[in-house]
Amino acid sequence: MRLKPTLEGERYEGLKEVIFIAVIDFVMFPDKSDYRSTQY
Label residue 1 by pLDDT band (50, 70, 90): low
Interval 26-38: pLDDT, tens: 877 778 766 666 6
Instruction: Please provide residue 18's backbone torsions phi and psi, each rounded to the nearest 5 degrees.
Output: -125, 135
Q: What pLDDT does residue 31 have? A: 80
The structure's pTM equals 0.30
Note the pLDDT tens digit of each residue in 4-28.
777 777 777 777 777 878 888 887 7
d(Cα 30, Cα 20) in Å, to the nearest integer?
16
